[in-house]
Structure 1
Amino acid sequence: MDASVLAAMARWPNVPAVYGWLGLDRRGNWRLRDETVQHPGLRDFLGRNYACDAAGRYFVQNGPQRVYVALEYTPWVLRFEHGALIRHDRQAFAPPTAALIDDCGSLLVLAADGIGLVDDRDLPAMLDRLCDDRGRPLADADIESALEGDSRGCRLALGGRSLAVDTIARDTVAARFGFEPRPQPDADH
């Protein structure tokens, strides 16, 4: 986090949190009251000050005020650039440990950073990295089967690793990976 943000938190520790103003869409765009944030400096600030609390609620620390983020899907949105995954905040994603395809055909990647959705614009390049357990590229029919929920024998070659690809129901992702897509105030506030 920015030093100025940390200083403001120390100076004004009891500023109420904000809910319902800030969102993150499936392509990693910040949305402020349903408008895409266009200003590069503001996007960078939001990315640098993005974090998660103990309850799995993601937020941006804006000076002394915590602004909770409504997630359209996962807390991280990933782009595939130069053979590596980059988070929506333009930082490198940690080395991947697992890959999943949801029941809508979206590709998710798990790492120490948490769970991330691969931006749909990069899905074709990622599908080219699907292979069998011997590292051979999958036939189109096998890729189609994986996208439809049958990922048996399917692996993802990524970051020098070969990750087994599992399937998951989209509506179970948040609970399984411990994040709250629609943060709400605590009951005592």
Structure 2
Amino acid sequence: MASSQGTDADKSSLRGNYLAARAAIPVPTRRASDEAIRARLRELPVFAEARVVLTYVSVGAEVDTRALIEGLLAEGRRVAVPLTRPSAHTMSFHEIRSLDELRPGAHRIPEPPADSPALAVPDMVGSVCLVPGLVFDGAGHRVGYGGGYYDRFLPFYPGWKVAPARTTQMSSNPLPVGPHDVPVDYIVTEAATWSCW
């Protein structure tokens, strides 16, 4: 959905607009888009060569990552997912071996057990992080859900930042950018892959 908002649009109104637009996409259309996104992700060299894949665990109408996680684990690839600390608005990534390990955490999002070991920064060198968002622009800037978890994590992340997104999540206008916003390196949609650097 091409944004009719300019850079003066506030993130709250953008969130509302894009949440509504995403919810209106028929389930079969979402599934077809997500399957095409997974195929394009696997063609992206930085993804194919990544030592570890850090990824959000999709819920609701988000671009599906569960099928991707299951496929990667079946191939013996290393996968890590976020564990959040809501009081501090921070998160760490923890390696998993099955989606069955996950339990509802903050905001009812599936998370690994609190006592599972977190990846250290050296473990993330040569990795890819799949970054969620509601809307992205061509420069790789994003509007997320407003929790600030990725805004605090990404400045210290040493790997590639890749956003899986449907074409309806792409804005034709620049998004509002704050001083702590970190753009992604690539955006992968069902139709194309964009390099943002």
How would you bin the TM-score normalised by the shorter chain? 0.3 to 0.5
Asked which structure has the greater RCO (Cα within 8 Å, sep 6+), the reply is: 2
Instruction: Kindly indicate which of the two structures has a greater share of residues assigned to strand.
Output: 1
TM-score normalised by structure 2 residue count: 0.32
In our comparison, the structure showing a higher alpha carbon Rg is 1
